[in-house]
Amino acid sequence: MMKRVVLAIALLMFLAGCSTTTPEDLTVEEEPEDGEASASGDKSEGELGVVATMGTQYANIRLVRVATGLEHPWAVAFLPDGQMLVTERPGRLQLVNGDGEMEEVSGVPEVKSQNQGGLLDVVIHPEFEENSWVYLTYSKPDDSGDETSTTLIRGVLDGTSLNDVEELFTQDRYSEPGRHYGSRLAWTGDQKLLMSVGDRGSDPPRAQDLGDHAGTLLRLNDDGSIPDDNPFVDDDDAHDEIFSYGHRNIQGLIVHPETEEIWATEHGPRGGDELNLVVAGENYGWPTATLGLNYRNQQDFPDSKARRVEGMVDPFYEFLPTHAPSGLALVTTDRFENWDGDLLAGGLRSRRIRRVVFDEEEVLHEEELLLHEVGRIRDVREGPEGNIYVLTDSSSGSLYRIEPQ
């Protein structure tokens, strides 16, 4: 018996030593993904219509399932005619009408759908009614199919066809596929397009290199060209597209319609999920400065020097416990009068929305919404009529509408 115990221990030690997984190979933002999301506790699939009514601290709300059967949906955009565009990570763009019926839009380019990669964000041009332009981001495979880059395209939407598709941007370096693509889009008031690019996971210090697109927020003209007033256009060692850097993986992004403030939520490792007020030219620290910890032992994260570093911007707020933020909306509608001016930050691992009340200096209050009601939340948007829309991330995800009761 003793020999068997010794042999079993030796075998376990050998297997542990042979593992090629490092702390950098792990991520809590997608747990239980890295694999795929578990269906356990996920209530996102079901009949259309009113799912629940519930009270919150300052509003009674009704949760309505608008569409279902979406395979890992990632983003929703609203068309002037009341229909919606929804991306599915395996590479499909769906046109969804008010009855929840879906038609797939043709003309979407080939994507590399692996783990967190695939077809990602979607927005329409501010002057869509004149030009019909739709913008999409995705993980583009290289010629071998082994590596990918975060890429931006646009095309003209004609019914259920995306025509005249053109590539506007692809990051400068292809990497092993699977993680940290970033890939949120948002328009500024002067019709500049912001686009996040994640650090791609395997080599976090790339986010500190201005000669690398990884770990940045970009600012582009609507045709993909570079605005003359970008902060690094006169720096020969920096990519001109970069607006800010030192980001790990921004997956929530909005521009305040009145103040033009840019708000972003981004994933930390174990802890360190951040809400940031993003300013042109600033360094947001990752991985040199992070409030997150090593996955394996809760010690300092590899490549970090301190929790705060002079000259690097501290997060406006750290979400605790781990939130794994994805999707961000600013409430501007009088339909939710007591939420006006608040941020709604979706959470994957936390399976909730966090309503964030803040002033110019700090977060004042938080409330949890939809706690474990619908599963992993991938996107949160304010619709044109003032209701709040939510996408859940699962193999059969749903699109929900939150409306006043």
CA 349 from centroid of its chain's CA atoms: 13
Tokens (6 digits) for 127? 């002057």
State how far the Cα of 215 lies from the Cα of 287, in Å rounded to an integer.
10
For the chain, counts of helices (H) and of strands (E): 2, 25
Per the DSSP assignment, residues forming a β-bridge with 388 are: 382, 402
The SS3 call for residue 239 is coil
Residue 98 phi, psi (nearest 5): -65, -15
**Any catalytic annotation for residue 213?**
no
> Which token pair is 18?
């042979």
Decide if 239 contacts 213 (C-beta within 8 A).
yes
Closest C-alpha to 209, from 92, 95, 288: 288
Amino acid at 254: I
CA distance 326 to 26: 18
Q: What distance in Å separates the CA atoms of residue 237 and residue 235, rounded to the nearest whole number?
A: 5
What are the structure tokens assigned to 222, written together?
Answer: 């609507």
Terminal C-alpha separation, the chain: 66
Neighbour order of strands in the sheet with 262-266: 250-255, 262-266, 273-278, 317-319
Cis link prior to 287 (omega < 30° from 0)?
A: yes
Task: Please state whether beta strands 148-158 and 133-141 pair in parallel, antiparallel, or not at all (unpaired).
Answer: antiparallel
Residue pair 34/21 in contact (Cβ under 8 Å)? The answer is no
User: Active site residue: 72, 125, 180, 365, which one?
Assistant: 180
Pairing of strands 161-170, 148-158: antiparallel
Distance, in Å, from the CA atom of 96 to the CA atom of 84, rounded to the nearest integer, reads: 5
Residues belonging to the active site: 180
